[in-house]
Amino acid sequence: MNKIYMVRHAESTYSPDEYGRGLTERGKRDAERITEALLPFDIDLVISSPYKRAMDTVNGIAKAKNLQVLLDERFRERVLAGDAVEDFHTAIKAVWDDPLFSHPGGESNREAAERGILALNDVLVTYHNKRNIVIGTHGNLMALIMQHYDARYDYLFWKNELKMPDIYVLTFEKQKCLDICHVSWDAKLPNYDEK
């Protein structure tokens, strides 16, 4: 049995540089809390999207467990469009409303989900002997992967319930997902509202 700890990255500064944009001060504090939440688990592998914000969110648990972070391009965020969109929320809802629709230069939900699921299946096969695997990724792709196994993880889940950062653990027997559950990491967090 394998447990995959899907970690959505912490809050990041906005920049058109998808690869290089890092975490805000709040994001850095939250990434420390993510590390604390994962410490009790016997993590034996850490994989991440190559985007800095995802790597920075899981780097703490890798260091604490004396592991290297392996990068996998397929866990990067979905490409919404080739150019900046006028209204992000309208643009993202359009791709969730029609899984085959894509904005010019972007990925449809189906394309992004297939990429993420293929990557996850490869992890399950390649690292079948690793029992607890952390994957640092992004909100949209994470929800699409989880939706493949359970329809409850839809647009409304992504919009209203998935936090930044967040942790969901998927339990697998070979490549069959047996369960998905939330890992509480923020129950004791102080109010970080920045002025």
* Confidence (pLDDT) at 84: 86
What pLDDT is attached to residue 187? 57
Q: Average pLDDT of 81-103? A: 94
pLDDT exceeds 80 at position 190: no
Segment among 13-22, 109-118, 155-164, 170-179 with least mean pLDDT? 13-22
Whether 90 is covered by a domain: the verdict is no
Give domain status of residue 125, yes or no. yes
- Sign of the Cα torsion 127, 133, 137, 141 reads positive
Report the alpha-carbon distance of residue 18 to residue 140 in Å, rounded.
14
Domain that holds residue 123: 2-71+99-176
Say if residues 98 and 111 touch (Cβ distance below 8 Å).
no
One-letter-per-residue 3-state SS of the chain: CEEEEEEECCCECCCCCCCCCCECHHHHHHHHHHHHHHCCCCCCEEEECCCHHHHHHHHHHHHHCCCCEEECHHHCCCCCCCCCCCCHHHHHHHHHHCCCCCCCCCCCHHHHHHHHHHHHHHHHHHCCCCCEEEEEECHHHHHHHHHHHCCCCCHHHHHHCCCCCEEEEEEEECCEEEEEEECCCCCCCCCCCCC
Q: What is the pLDDT of residues 136-149, one digit of tens each?
A: 999 999 999 999 99
Distances (CA, A) of 107 to 111, 117, 134, 178: 6, 14, 25, 28
Tell me, yes or no, whether 194 lies in a domain: no
Average pLDDT of the chain? 93
Token pair listed for 59: 């780097």
Tally of structural domains, the chain? 1
Q: Is residue 8 part of a domain?
A: yes
d(CA 118, CA 130): 18
> Tell me: the pLDDT tens digits for 46-70?
999 999 999 999 999 999 999 999 9
Contact present, 21 and 12 (Cβ < 8 Å): yes
Whether 79 is covered by a domain: the verdict is: no
Predicted confidence band of residue 193 (pLDDT cuts 50, 70, 90): very low
- The CATH code of the domain that includes 117 is 3.40.50.1240
pLDDT band at residue 192 under the 50/70/90 scheme: very low
Q: Residue 191: pLDDT above 80?
A: no
pLDDT attached to residue 185: 81
Can you tell me the distance from the alpha carbon of 171 to that of 174, in angstroms, rounded to the nearest whole number? 10
Condensed to tens digits (0 to 9), the pLDDT of residues 146-174 reads 999 999 999 999 999 999 999 999 999 99
Contacts of 176 (CB under 8 A, 6+ apart): none
Calculate what percentage of the chain has a pLDDT beyond 70. Answer: 95
Query: Which one has a higher pLDDT value, 135 or 84?
Result: 135
Domain assignment present for 181: no
